[in-house]
Structure 1
Amino acid sequence: MLRQGLPSQSLVREFGAPGPRVGGVPDFHAVTRDHVLSAIAECDERGADSFQRAYGFGKTHDYLLWHDGKSYDSKAILGVAYKYATGTAASRARFAAEKEGVANLLRHLEFDVTFVDATGLADQPATGEWREAADLPLDESRDAWAEAARGGLIETAGQYHAVVTTKELATLAQNRTGIRTKQLTHYWIGDVLTRVAAECARRDEPLLSSLCVTTDGSVGASYAPAVLAATGEVPADADDHAAQERLRCYRHFGADLPEGGGVAALTPKLAATRGRERKIRAQEKVHAHCPICNLQLPATGICDDCN
């Protein structure tokens, strides 16, 4: 049964008493549970990254809102829930000094909200309590993480040209399964992505592992082994192969594609890096010179002055 009636005194202190406010300050007591559910549905439809960018919220967050086993940025959801309540979304700046207040208000509406530490892990995961990977058989933790990662990657595939970093995916897998580890991500995420790729191959799907990239925008060293495990072949260029697989993922998992079906693309960061590298190689290229006047030869290879 949902709690109805007057808000608690703590919420009144944090957000003010119900009713119209002056000076343009939002009254969050206009927000109901249904408004929050509408914001969650919009986030699911648009994808978290697109949703947060559209309303001016970044990826950093102090509290996670949990619903149906998925986590959401509590401030972004409440800000957009305010739009459903009043017609105008609350801006990110509105929450600058009210991090805990946001969590308390959402809890008042009977949502689960957990604090996120500096590593991105919630103080309480979706399962209710943490288990340590070191206390479990390796396959149990890795299979659980792979299943959770697969779900997160399918969500990513729903947005054209979206990707997720290895750190973000590792955090998601731990938060959703309630299994955490003190091991550095690069020691285990490759195995998880290989298991995801193997499951994709079993289902005759494009490789979701292609959507996971490092901070430099590359799929990194873990991608080629995942492709090998899934297809029996090693890609000549891992990032070019991943770009093609990502396009297949967007098409397969229902992303809104531009006219023509979209194009395969490197991540913007990696594309920029490769562009700089090509420019440097071109500048370092040794140019031929005329044996008579020693001037640099044009592209034709024939000296304009001596011939």
Structure 2
Amino acid sequence: MERGFGVSSLKDKAIACAGNWIVDIVQTIDTWPQKSDLVHIRHEVMGVGGGAANVVLDLAAFDAGLRLYAVGLVGGDAHAGLCRSACDAAGVDRRWLKTSATAMTAHTQVMNVPGDSRTFFYHPGCNDALTEADIPVEEMAAEGVGIFYLGYINLLGALDALEGGTTGAARILSRARACGMVTVVDLVSADTSTFAATVMAALPTVDYLFLNEVEAARTLGRPPIPAGDRAGLEAAARALQAAGAGRVVLHTGQGALWFDGAPLWAEPCAVAPGDIVSPVGAGDAFCAGALYGIHQGWDAGRCLSLAHRAAAASLKGATATEGIPPLRVLLG
């Protein structure tokens, strides 16, 4: 593995997942309403979401004996209690999941139309208040953390703020690498004026970059890339690597690309439309599957296979993480 880790030494290391902690209130509706119209909520469920939360809880759901740490910021409200309880139930160490005295826990109203799409109404709360001082990577390294995940860039408020061509997120990632950690970054499809600059600032500090075709196009300032356009996706991955990223893992609904100087493609697992409950969290499940493989020293093809199996399982759950079974089931 890169950064001086041998396979056996990385297997012995812990994984810390930092960034977004969100409570998702997922509401399934019949159809998207016109302005001022009424539609029925047919089902409602509440669960923990956000990049850091989803990835660390998915990794815990694999039941593979990993040492896992939750890193981020929550408030002093009931939503924070849900985040803490989820960590405790999953056996995730939450010593670095800190509490803000001034900001609310981030939360999202997720409107899910089965067979169509989902729409998010997001209150950033503590995620926008998270700062470099809240993420003590040196302390984590001393505790044996070998992989540092950060997600999502462009949904972290203070850490995304550009100053002198860099960001707090980029500085944290640089510090993590200086401590010998492998850095993993995931993006979110936020449409902001600083999207590209924020990502570009971080790329030289990223060992593994996870993103989809929309995020790749926005980062590079290119027109939308069709999910099936392999040549366009490969060109985007090559450009991202040229801009500083280590390995690029680009996932779409039609397949995934692992790019490390040369392309490796993998097809997704087929899921019957009737089995899909919600797509919320599928991308994070994909990341968790690949991240487990990285931790174990697997080759790229094996990493992508588990990533696609985890994403397919996620589609069958209403919340971002409830559909993830143990690893022995995913690999069975």
How does the TM-score come out when normalised to structure 1?
0.31
Higher helix share: 1
Which gives a bigger RCO, structure 1 or 2 (Cα 8 Å, sep 6+)?
2
